[in-house]
Amino acid sequence: MTIRGVLFDVDGTLYDYEKAEEAGLHEHLVAEGLADRFESSAEALRVWREVREEEYPRFLTGELTFAAQKAERIRRFLAHAGVVGALESTDEAATAWFASYAVRRNVSRRAFDDAQPALSALAGRFRLGVVSNSVTAQQRAKLDAIGLLGYFTEPLICSQEHGSAKPAASIFLAGCEALGLTPAEVVYVGDDYEKDAIGARDAGLQAVWVDRSASGGSGAVDADIRVIASLTELTSL
Q: How many helices (H) and strands (E) does the chain have?
A: 9, 6
The pLDDT value recorded for residue 207 is 98
* 168: phi then psi, degrees, rounded to nearest 5: -60, 135
User: What average pLDDT does this structure show over 35-39?
Assistant: 96
The residues facing 207 across adjacent strands are: 188, 225
Residue 122 near residue 138 (C-beta atoms within 8 A): no
Record the pTM. Answer: 0.93
Q: Could you read off the pLDDT of 225-234 as tens digits, one per residue?
A: 999 999 999 9
Q: What is the mean pLDDT of residues 134-146?
A: 97
- Dump pLDDT digits (tens) for 181-196: 999 999 999 999 999 9
Average pLDDT, the chain: 96
pLDDT in tens, 71-103: 999 999 999 999 999 999 999 999 999 999 999
> Given strand 127-132, what is the order of strands in its sheet?
157-158, 127-132, 5-8, 186-190, 206-210, 225-228
Residue 215 has pLDDT above 90, yes or no: no
Residue 1 has pLDDT above 80, yes or no: no
Q: What is the mean pLDDT of residues 37-57?
A: 97
Beta bridge partners of 158: 132
SS (H, E, C) 35-73: HHHCCCHHHHHHHHHHHHHHHHHHHHCCCCCHHHHHHHH
